Amino acid sequence: MTLRTARRLDRIEPFYVMELAKEAARIADSAECDPARGGERMIFLNIGEPDFGAPDAALRSAARVLAGRALPYTQATGIAPLRERISGWYAQRFGLDIDPARILVTAGASGALQLACLALFEAGDEVLLPDPSYPCNRHFVTAADATPRLLPAGPDQRFQLSAEDVARHWTSATRGVLLASPSNPTGTSIAPEVMGRIVQEVRRRGGVTLVDEIYLGLSYDARYGTTALVHDPRGQDLVSINSFSKYFSMTGWRLGWLVLPPALVAPMERLAQNLYICPSTLAQQAAVACFEPEAIAQCEQRRGELQRRRDFIVPALERLGLPVPVEPDGAFYAWADCSAHGESSWDLCQRLTRRAHIALTPGRDFGPAAAERYLRLSFAGAMQDLQDAVGRLQRELDRSR
């Protein structure tokens, strides 16, 4: 007997970056990558994971909790001290007065996106997203039985949607937009004036604007480093999604948050209670310390290091014939055009994994518009890895010319 699965699974593609990551890991564990046998170690530039780890203050806080305190369930919205600290962060960094009651702490930004999509979208609804964009975002829409509609967005508009795109493609079925600023895979942000026009365009049509801001703290250009919440400070129809994974380097702690319109707090809390009860108690207690001055200073130093890595790798890729059409102003990704090398990004990334032992991410995950033309390189790893990778890329690309 064949077990029947839900039809929605037919509309959710594999996460190709993880499939290639498994292949890269297999090769990395083989004899050909063993330096003791003359092999060349695998350099992983495919996964968006900072190499720093949680701030020291958060680690000390976690150790104190584990040493002497129980770890009971918390309320589904998160512990009050953490929500208050997040509110204070918006006040200090952006001058915004966000009521802690509008903040819902979640099991990672993925949990936040799942809650938002389940609460706001249903069968028959359509949600506009840019192509390219993070694949899981459209799959969260699909999992809510709604339809993600990808709109091609090229380098002339920083690989982001515009208000004109929203107006042109809005239909009677459209419920809202799901954006990311800064974006994965491009590292580009939506300019504040453009974001403001998008919010107004969506509001005019009675829709909702969801903005994935998990890379917001990792902005390198003051022109772009502000939250979309400045366009909806009272909480009318904009949902901001954020995370401790990127700026605070706490990927495996699985902790995120939402800033919600007041009317959405109770429905979202009800969903969270039923879907996962509460976020990790240990992660929440540790994250309170992330907002100490010492921890913020450490995160800012790390942001500077990531900018230094960006400033190294983007020109290096240009010299290799892998130009980055729009310099990333945030996050830690370079979206490089590989079309000059005569291979699809999928084939090129597979070849580089096998022969140069460099793991990169082909464009296939991020949408069909330019899937074969672009690849994503993560500069979240160590500078030495980036430098070694440039040398190997030069060697391999020269060999194929």
Please, which pLDDT band fits residue 137 given cuts at 50, 70 and 90? very high
* pLDDT tens for each residue of 31-41: 777 776 777 89
Specify whether the CB–CB gap between 232 and 259 falls below 8 A. Answer: no
268: nearest Cα among 37, 45, 106:
106
**Structural domains of the chain, with CATH:** 12-49+295-399 (3.90.1150.10), 56-290 (3.40.640.10)
222: nearest Cα among 199, 189, 195:
189
* pLDDT tens for each residue of 76-113: 999 999 999 999 999 999 999 999 999 999 999 999 99
3-state SS record for 321-375: CCCCCCCCCECCEEEEECHHHCCCHHHHHHHHHHHHCEECEEHHHHCCCCCCCEE
Residue 29 has pLDDT above 90, yes or no: no
**128 phi/psi in degrees, rounded to 5:** -90, 130
**147 phi/psi in degrees, rounded to 5:** -115, 115
Place of tokens 């502000």: 226
Gap between the Cα atoms of 30 and 354, Å rounded: 11
Give the 3-state secondary structure of residue 148.
strand
* pLDDT tens for each residue of 309-352: 999 999 999 999 999 999 999 999 999 999 999 889 999 999 99
143 Cβ neighbours under 8 A, 6+ residues apart:
8, 12, 114, 117, 118
CB atoms within 10 A of CB 69: 11
pTM > 0.85: yes or no? yes
Tell which wins on pLDDT, 13 or 390: 390
pLDDT at 5: 84
pLDDT at 26: 87
* pLDDT tens for each residue of 195-214: 999 999 999 999 999 999 99
